[in-house]
């Protein structure tokens, strides 16, 4: 499946799909989307690149093993849930929000950091599984 058309298309689709996955991640708290769906879209972007350009080329593009994203994402999600307990003596996973919205992003709170953690875990798990299966085949 390494046709010229697929290779050329994947060079344009990779950044486009990654930007779209971040868009889905950021809109997920108020509308359909979020960390899980955004992470799947980002993983699909890298899988498409691997199909078109080879697994080694895609691994070189990532610069680190995707499994590294799993503990980072889990840690971020856990810390976003733990922040209210430490800071305000509120229950675990209580939503905390910055008082003023940020330009372009909007309201930022602990739910966004939880979603980012989920996003990283989904990318890490999906790419680790798919890369492992592709290497053994």
Q: What distance lies between CA 124 and its chain's CA centroid?
A: 8
Task: Please state, in angstroms and rounded to a whole number, the distance separating the CA atoms of residues 1 and 51.
Answer: 7
Task: Please state, in angstroms and rounded to a whole number, the distance separating the CA atoms of residues 93 and 78.
Answer: 9
| Confidence category of residue 13, pLDDT binned at 50, 70, 90 | very high
Q: What percent of the chain has pLDDT over 90?
A: 59
- CA dist list (Å): 66 to 61, 94, 105, 113: 11, 30, 26, 19
- Domain extents for the chain? 4-136
> Where on the phi/psi map is residue 89: left (φ > 0), alpha (ψ -120 to 50), or beta?
left
| pTM confidence score | 0.90
Task: Please state, in angstroms and rounded to a whole number, the distance separating the CA atoms of residues 66 and 43.
Answer: 10
23-57 pLDDT per residue, tens: 999 888 777 788 999 999 999 999 999 999 999 99
- CA dist list (Å): 50 to 68, 80, 94, 127: 19, 33, 40, 10
How high is the pLDDT of residue 65? 92
Residue 77 near residue 114, CB atoms below 8 Å? yes
Mean pLDDT in residue range 75-103: 86
Over 90: is that where the pLDDT of 22 sits?
yes
């Amino acid at each position: 499946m390494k046709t010229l058309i697929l290779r050329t298309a994947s060079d344009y689709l990779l950044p486009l799909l990654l930007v779209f996955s971040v868009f889905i991640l950021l809109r997920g708290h108020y509308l359909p989307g979020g960390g899980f769906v955004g992470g799947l879209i980002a993983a699909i972007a890298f899988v498409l690149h691997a199909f078109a350009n080879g697994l080694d080329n895609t691994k070189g593009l990532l610069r680190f093993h995707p499994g590294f994203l799993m503990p980072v994402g889990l840690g971020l999600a856990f810390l976003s849930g733990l922040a209210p307990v430490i800071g305000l003596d509120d229950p675990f996973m209580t939503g905390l929000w910055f008082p003023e919205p940020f330009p372009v992003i909007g309201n930022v709170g602990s739910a966004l950091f939880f979603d980012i953690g989920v996003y990283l875990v989904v990318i890490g798990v999906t790419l680790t599984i798919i890369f492992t299966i592709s290497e053994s085949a």
